[in-house]
Amino acid sequence: MLRPVSAAHALDAPRAFLDVTRSVLGRPWRDRCADPALQAYAATMVQAHALPEMLARVLAGRGIRPAEAEAHLHPRLRDLMPDPDCLVDMPAATDRLARAVMAGERVAIFGDYDVDGAASAALVAGYLRGLGLTVQIHIPDRITEGYGPNVAAVTALHAAGATLLVTVDCGTSGHAPLEAAAALGLDVVVLDHHGAPEQLPPACALVNPNRLDDLSGLGHLCAAGVVFLTLVALNRRLRGQESLVGSLPDLAESLDLVALATVADVVPLAGLNRAFVVQGLKVMRARGRVGLAALLDAASLSEPPEAWHLGYLVGPRINAGGRIGDAALGATLLTTTDPAEAARIAADLDRLNRERQAIEAQAVAAAEAEMDHALSLDPERPVLVAASADWHPGIVGLIAARLKERFGRPAFAFALRPDGTATGSGRSIAGADLGQAVRSAVEAGLALKGGGHAMAAGVTLPGFDVSRFGDHLAGALAVTVAEARSVEALLVDGAMSAGGVTAELVRTIHRAGPFGSAAPEPTFVLARHRIVDAAIVGNGHVRARLRSRDGQAIGAIAFRAAQGPLGQAILSGLGREVHIAGTLSVDTWRGAERAQMRICDLAHFA
């Protein structure tokens, strides 16, 4: 059962949930619905909408008001879709694309090498090919070309006959290559979402909700979301052409790609983004896109895909091509209609992902050791910066993510290249804008190029001295990092007992999803449960079995925790009663369903 929270307890804001002031991960636990207003929201939803209490609390804890509950639980894309023309340059973009369609032009697409770039390229290519156009996709090699359009690739695409270049998930800062395109007479349409400089490169249209003069309020979209709105506008523009009547693509069928990119690019799952994911998952479950179906099979996913599968199973496999293999594999997989080719590419990506995991594990161990030493000398260091000539440039973002998770502060990891440059990628914590700090480093001449979002960024440095860049980041982010870390706590949605956690209950709670960035997955506590089994499994995971005082048990797992304080606490706590915090999921094995917990924290009690 859900642990009730009294009004007196809610008013006592500083009081920790279950009196946990410091867990094994050094965090206090707080009741997410401690605010009396949120408790009132939940009570109203129970009464007015006949919602289960736990579901109502989860909704209230994520800021959903009673009047918004029904729309949140049943989001309709048509209710949330804006007029695409609210984006700056959208009319110019759709006009140029429409002219290309009507004239049957050869179009080149230049995309990024991550999931968002691959999905965005596949969206544009699928639409234009469906109307009979010849389309060439170019995904740059991470090592030899780097991020974004480059002069050599632009020149080659023009020489191959392209009269229109569409850049997706890149191009906003591509001054030199876009100037080269203009000199060649190659028209360019940029569809992007990255932070924009004050001075924009030349283009027929540059559609980006994060350009400084855009007031659309759609800066939370990933590139695939921007591309989808562009195709909606283009569909509207072409609908009046008699020669195209009945041949315009059904854009709803492409929402699986938008959902995949939205989750994998870790943009906020709220409003329009949430509707994209809800509707896109429905499309994906129909398995109409042979490339995605093959990849789901390669990942051994037999159950209907959920949002977390996109982030943890599908996305990493697509990214593996861009990290350590052929960067074009992802876009090719998402556009192919040949089941045999799809199966072959999916198998290649699955193999590359396993190789990436092995390379990453070694690099992360070295980086964590380096940062343990650095923090022993300066425990309050606001930003972590690690570098090595042994690291593959394709995994530095993953190293940074692991450092951020382990040490709870922004982190950058660099691969020191043979050409004398350092290629780095960073990940941040909520409240510290890493992308802005990187852009300021570029403006200060500390970096050759760089940019990104608040939570993730990339940069290329001249030379191997990353310390100056690290000092710049520390100066730019010290205050915001300190503020963010001072209020860090594990927010708990309620307490349960193992016997009450059923597959039906988990499905009820997940009606509030999908969960992801800005929509945290509900966290619950199994209070005073005994660890009756614990062992290391797989790639450093810790599996456990937890039993309540009434004898009911539930399986649980802590991912990538074996060498950290959480995993060690589980393994050394065998036979002891502890408070266990985690998220809930349903595991399906041979047709049978059972609830399980993904452990995220543990606390001892007196």
Hey, CA dihedral for 541, 407, 512, 75, is it positive or negative?
negative
Q: Which of 233, 220, 307, 264 is nearest to 120 (CA)?
A: 264
What pLDDT sits at residue 264? 95
- Average pLDDT over the chain, rounded to whole? 93
pLDDT 10s digits, 182-207: 999 999 999 999 988 889 999 999 99
In this predicted model, which residue has the larger pLDDT, 431 or 221? Answer: 221
The CATH number of domain 378-486 is 3.30.70.360: no
181 within 8 A of 158, measured Cβ to Cβ = yes
173 within 8 A of 155, measured Cβ to Cβ = no
Angle at 443 between CA 261 and CA 389, to 5 degrees: 65
What pLDDT sits at residue 9? 37
The predicted model gives 505-515 an average pLDDT of 94
What pLDDT sits at residue 591? 74
Q: How far apart are CA 119 and CA 133, in angstroms?
A: 19
Task: Please determine, for residue 248, whether its predicted confidence score (pLDDT) is greater than 50.
Answer: yes
Q: Which residue has the tokens 């509207």?
A: 236
DSSP alpha helix (H) spans, 187-264 = 223-238, 255-264
- Hey, where are the domains in the chain? 7-35+490-603, 82-273, 378-486
Task: Please determine, for residue 430, whether its predicted confidence score (pLDDT) is greater than 60.
Answer: yes
pLDDT 10s digits, 33-54: 999 999 999 999 999 999 999 9
Tokens read off for 248 = 């315009």
Instruction: Choose which CATH entry (1.10.10.10, 3.40.50.1980, 3.40.50.300, 3.90.1640.30) describes domain 82-273.
Output: 3.90.1640.30
Task: Please determine, for residue 11, whether its predicted confidence score (pLDDT) is greater than 70.
Answer: no
pLDDT confidence tier of residue 300, bands split at 50, 70 and 90: very high
Task: Please determine, for residue 2, whether its predicted confidence score (pLDDT) is greater than 60.
Answer: no
Task: Please determine, for residue 4, whether its predicted confidence score (pLDDT) is greater than 70.
Answer: no
The predicted model gives 542-559 an average pLDDT of 97
pLDDT confidence tier of residue 14, bands split at 50, 70 and 90: low
**pTM summary value:** 0.90
DSSP 122-156: HHHHHHHHHTT--EEEE---TTTT-SS--HHHHHH
The dihedrals phi and psi of 267, each to the nearest 5 degrees, come to: -90, 160
298 within 8 A of 354, measured Cβ to Cβ = no
**Whole-number Cα distances in Å, 361 to 400, 468, 517:** 12, 27, 25
What pLDDT sits at residue 13? 47
What pLDDT sits at residue 1? 35
Q: Which residue has the tokens 């020149």?
A: 155
Q: How far apart are CA 416 and CA 407, in angstroms?
A: 23
The CATH number of domain 7-35+490-603 is 2.40.50.140: yes
Burial label, 121 (beta-carbon count in 10 A; 0-12, 13-18, 19+): buried
The predicted model gives 536-545 an average pLDDT of 94
Under DSSP, the state recorded for 549 is T
What pLDDT sits at residue 246? 80
Task: Please determine, for residue 453, whether its predicted confidence score (pLDDT) is greater than 90.
Answer: no
pLDDT confidence tier of residue 244, bands split at 50, 70 and 90: confident
Q: How many CB atoms lie within 10 A of CB 595?
A: 19
pLDDT 10s digits, 387-409: 999 999 999 999 999 999 989 99
Find the length of the chain: 606
Tokens read off for 58 = 């989860």
139 within 8 A of 331, measured Cβ to Cβ = yes
The predicted model gives 72-92 an average pLDDT of 96
What pLDDT sits at residue 5? 38
Task: Please determine, for residue 420, whether its predicted confidence score (pLDDT) is greater than 80.
Answer: yes
Task: Please determine, for residue 557, whether its predicted confidence score (pLDDT) is greater than 90.
Answer: yes
Task: Please determine, for residue 229, whether its predicted confidence score (pLDDT) is greater than 90.
Answer: yes
Task: Please determine, for residue 12, whether its predicted confidence score (pLDDT) is greater than 50.
Answer: no
Burial label, 50 (beta-carbon count in 10 A; 0-12, 13-18, 19+): exposed
The predicted model gives 224-237 an average pLDDT of 97
Tokens read off for 542 = 């810790």
**Out of 8-17, 77-86, 151-160, 283-292, which region has the weakest mean confidence (pLDDT)?**
8-17
Task: Please determine, for residue 171, whether its predicted confidence score (pLDDT) is greater than 90.
Answer: yes
Q: What percent of the chain is predicted at pLDDT more than 70?
A: 98
Tokens read off for 426 = 């960073």
DSSP alpha helix (H) spans, 52-114 = 53-61, 69-73, 77-80, 90-103
Residues 6+ apart with CB under 8 A from 90: 84, 205, 207, 229, 230, 233
pLDDT confidence tier of residue 452, bands split at 50, 70 and 90: confident
What pLDDT sits at residue 486? 78
pLDDT confidence tier of residue 550, bands split at 50, 70 and 90: very high
The predicted model gives 155-172 an average pLDDT of 98
Task: Please determine, for residue 10, whether its predicted confidence score (pLDDT) is greater than 50.
Answer: no
pLDDT 10s digits, 317-365: 999 999 999 999 999 999 999 999 999 999 999 999 999 999 999 999 9
Q: Which residue has the tokens 């050094």?
A: 26
In this predicted model, which residue has the larger pLDDT, 456 or 225? Answer: 225
What pLDDT sits at residue 216? 97
